[in-house]
Amino acid sequence: MLSFFLLILIYTGIYSLMALGQNVITGYTGMLSLCQAGFFAIGSYVTAILCVKCGWGFFATIPVAALLSAMVGVLIGLPTLRLKGDYLAIATLGLGEIIRNVINNWDSLTNGPMGIQKIPKPSFFGIEINPYSKWGYLLMVAIFVLVFYLLLKRLADSRMGRALEAIREDEIAAGSMGINVTKYKVWAFAIGAACAGVAGSLQACFSLSVTPGTYTFMVSVIVLCMVVLGGMGNFKASIVGAFIIQLISYFPQLVGISNKFPAQFKQILFGLILIVMMIYRPQGIMGRSRRSFSKTGRSCPFKFLASKVRTVFKSSKEAGR
Amino acid sequence: MGSVSEFFQHFLNGLTLGGIYALIALGYTMVYGILKFINFAHGDILMVGAYIGLFIFDFLRGDKPLSAWWFVAFMIAMLCSMVFCGLLGMFIEKVAYKPLRKATRLAPLLSAIGVSFVLSNLAAWLFGTQSRKLEYPFDNTPIVIGSGSNAVSITPHQILILVASALMMLILKLFVDKSRMGKAMRATSLDQDTAKLMGIKSDHVISLTFAIGSALAACGGMLIALDFKVYATMGTMVGLKAFVAAVVGGIGNISGAMLGGLLLGLLETFGVALLGIPQGYKDAIAFGVLILILLFKPDGLLGKNEKEKV
């Protein structure tokens, strides 16, 4: 039970990294991208191939995974990011499928549908981090998530973050203000891809094997759902979204009623939650309201509550006077 | 390799594949034309259509041996499944998309993904995960035309696909171009608010659009189910490719969807057969073509180029 909960937390961490990247692309820059699974796969396969075939250490492969994912992101991003809205979604969806297709068929490098097994356990200055013991691995994943969270948070508060938000709000206006729209879009895409690449590395060495079946289109969709469920343009919310979705997907197993429910139950529930969520709370659980709505919009239930309490206090004070 | 008959053979195979893509792409393109969002659940409606058709067909033919009755039963099954899916499409629109008319553009897309999850997993739960075979309602031995090295063979199944998809597209094209309701449909897709001012009941038009698109998906679903089996995720890949076809032709444009579908089918067949691209990369061809076409013609082959105004 505890160990199962740790497993959920580890998966939350791995998916959080992807969701953080997706948040940069979709939440901040407003580009609907559907190929996090592709970059996730690239990261995983880089780690798997370098570890198994070249005998590299796990930590040495992470920068390579991030860089290669980002490079593929840039290569594809430069031409496709000119596309708008749904067209971009479909082009990136196509890219994700191409990456999976290539991995599935490039037998000499990726071993095709069989995948790569026996990835060595990672070790950190001689201390082996055993994925089976979970605590150590969880700590490692948590550190990665924290580092990326802080980095991206700094990024979002910087000049670049504001440029990205300007692009999301109005591309033409941003361009006329002197923001190099293409440059920033490609940057955002590359950063998002790099996050997914690192997540892929962690996934590969957690499961100790990689197969192309893991990196389907569904992964991209789930990651997008995490971002939207949490609330777009909010990094904390992406992590919360990742946790909620992982919790929902493993809930029947966690409380030991998985044999009473069909295996498909969680996905049905997940779909229903998505529909209901979109109808009743499209800005997500911790959705950030835009500035123009801030007077009426309830950005966060707690903040809303706090402001209510404050007004009550204020009026009571005034009444006392 | 390279003889004329071989070329025709591949052309024929590509045409049948493309016919199915076009049929399914129509549903995507009609919905996109009016509501401007990708109906991700379209592929799953196709799957539901194939299941319903399979059940009705199996019920009707019973234990009777292969005869003309099988074909009649198949047609009845197809009709029933088209009606059922049309109603299902309308129901889904009412429940999951209608409340989101005024929401951001991402909302209906994600809601559609939710619907897709529910449908495909509900099917896997109710009907089991093993795939089922939809029997050919006729003797499917290929008919050989010509002789020797000039022979071209065509299966009755291919003929059925070609006839059915051509017929459906013709009816749809006539309906949209000539009928009163079709006119209302075109008006709604051009400008929903103005159409409303002109007295067009846009809710009815949208319902009808979903009904027609879903019915066409059911028809396409049954046609492919004959070759590939019926299973819960059968619609996903076909749905994606049909969407690619719709985008390639210029989304929102009905002739574009037909053109895109045929083009995609031909490219896939010829890419594997003539250019020597390994069979495994077949799916990559479709998406590669998509990216290439979007680069040079971002609005698709027949799409209108809309300049954004500030």
Q: Residue A261 above 80 pLDDT? A: no
One domain for residues A103 and A224: yes
pLDDT at A295: 41
pLDDT at A313: 58
One domain for residues A268 and A313: no
Report chain B residues whose CB lies below 8 A from the CB of A104. 280
pLDDT at A297: 43
pLDDT at B32: 86
Shortest Cα–Cα distance, B296 to chain A (Å): 10
Angle at A84 between CA B177 and CA A43, to 5 degrees: 130
C-alpha distances in angstroms, A186 versus A77, A80, A135, B289?
6, 10, 37, 22
One domain for residues A93 and A214: yes
Which pLDDT band, with edges at 50, 70 and 90, does A304 fall under? low
Q: Does A267 touch chain B (CB under 8 A)?
A: yes
One domain for residues A50 and A29: yes
Query: CB–CB of A86 and B108 under 8 A?
Result: no
Domain total for chain A? Answer: 2
Q: Does A89 touch chain B (CB under 8 A)?
A: yes
Q: Which has the closest alpha carbon to B25: B302, B231, B281, B304? A: B302
Shortest Cα–Cα distance, A224 to chain B (Å): 9
Which pLDDT band, with edges at 50, 70 and 90, does A258 fall under? low
The rounded distance, in Å, linking the Cα atoms of B191 and B195 is 6
% residues pLDDT > 70 (chain A): 86
One domain for residues A268 and A295: no
> A153 or A133, which is more confident?
A153
Lowest mean pLDDT among A119-123, A163-167, A287-291: A287-291
- Residues paired with residue B143 on neighbouring β-strands, in sequence order: B154
Query: What residues have CB less than 8 Å from B158, skipping those under 6 apart?
Result: B12, B13, B16
Residue in A closest to B291 by C-alpha = A91
One domain for residues A49 and A69: yes
Tokens of residue A194, six digits: 């790099």
Residue in A closest to B95 by C-alpha = A275
The rounded distance, in Å, linking the Cα atoms of B294 and B109 is 21
Report chain A residues whose CB lies below 8 A from the CB of B36. 86
The rounded distance, in Å, linking the Cα atoms of B149 and A88 is 46
Q: Residue A55 above 60 pLDDT? A: yes
DSSP letters spanning A282-317: TT-TTPPPPGGGTTT--SSHHHHHHHHHHHHHHHHH
**Consecutive 10-residue runs of chain B (310 residues): their mean pLDDT?**
75 89 89 84 92 91 81 91 95 90 80 88 86 82 76 86 90 90 89 89 91 92 87 84 86 86 89 75 78 78 66
Report chain A residues whose CB lies below 8 A from the CB of B310. 172-173
Letter for the amino acid at B73? A
Query: What residues have CB less than 8 Å from A131, skipping those under 6 apart?
Result: A121, A137, A205, A206, A207, A208
One domain for residues A177 and A303: no
Q: Residue A183 above 70 pLDDT? A: yes
- Residues paired with residue A124 on neighbouring β-strands, in sequence order: A127
Query: CB–CB of B294 and A80 under 8 A?
Result: yes
pLDDT at B83: 95
Which pLDDT band, with edges at 50, 70 and 90, does A293 fall under? very low
Report chain B residues whose CB lies below 8 A from the CB of A273. 114
Q: Does A54 touch chain B (CB under 8 A)?
A: no
One domain for residues A83 and A232: yes
Q: Residue A200 above 80 pLDDT? A: yes
- Which pTM value belongs to this model? 0.79
One domain for residues A152 and A296: no
Decide: B116 and B234 in contact? Cβ < 8 Å: no
Q: Residue A294 above 80 pLDDT? A: no
| Residue A319 domain boundaries | 289-321
Q: Mean pLDDT over residues A254-270, rounded?
A: 73
A61-99 residue pLDDT tens: 899 999 999 999 998 888 777 777 777 877 788 888 888
Q: Residue A302 above 70 pLDDT? A: no
Decide: B234 and B50 in contact? Cβ < 8 Å: yes
Decide: residue A197, CB within 10 A, 0-12 exposed, 13-18 middle, 19+ buried.
buried
Query: CB–CB of B106 and A93 under 8 A?
Result: no
Buried b (16+ CB within 10 A) or exposed e, A72-109: bbeebbeebbbbebbbbbbbbbbbbbbbbbbbbbeeee
A103-142 residue pLDDT tens: 888 888 888 888 888 888 777 766 777 777 778 888 889 9
pLDDT at A162: 92
One domain for residues A258 and A309: no
Q: What is the mean pLDDT of chain A?
A: 82
Query: What residues have CB less than 8 Å from A284, skipping those under 6 apart?
Result: A228, A229, A230, A231, A232, A234, A237, A241, A277
Query: CB–CB of B110 and A93 under 8 A?
Result: no
Sign of the dihedral defined by the CA atoms of residues A158, A159, A160, A163, in that order:
positive
pLDDT at A117: 83
> A251 or A316, which is more confident?
A251
Buried b (16+ CB within 10 A) or exposed e, B245-279: bbbbbbbbbbbbbbbbbbbbbbbbbbbbbeeebee
pLDDT at A249: 80
One domain for residues A117 and A23: yes
One domain for residues A257 and A294: no
Quote the crossing angle between the two packed helices B106-127 and A217-230, to the nearest 10°: 130
Helix (H, G, I), strand (E, B) or coil at A128: strand
pLDDT at B55: 92
Residue A29's domain is classified under what CATH number?
Answer: 1.10.3470
Q: Residue A314 above 70 pLDDT? A: no
Tokens of residue A163, six digits: 């440029």
The rounded distance, in Å, linking the Cα atoms of B303 and B255 is 10
Q: Which has the closest alpha carbon to B95: B112, B117, B120? A: B112
Shortest Cα–Cα distance, B93 to chain A (Å): 12
ipTM above 0.90, yes or no: no
Q: Which has the closest alpha carbon to A19: A203, A229, A217, A317? A: A229
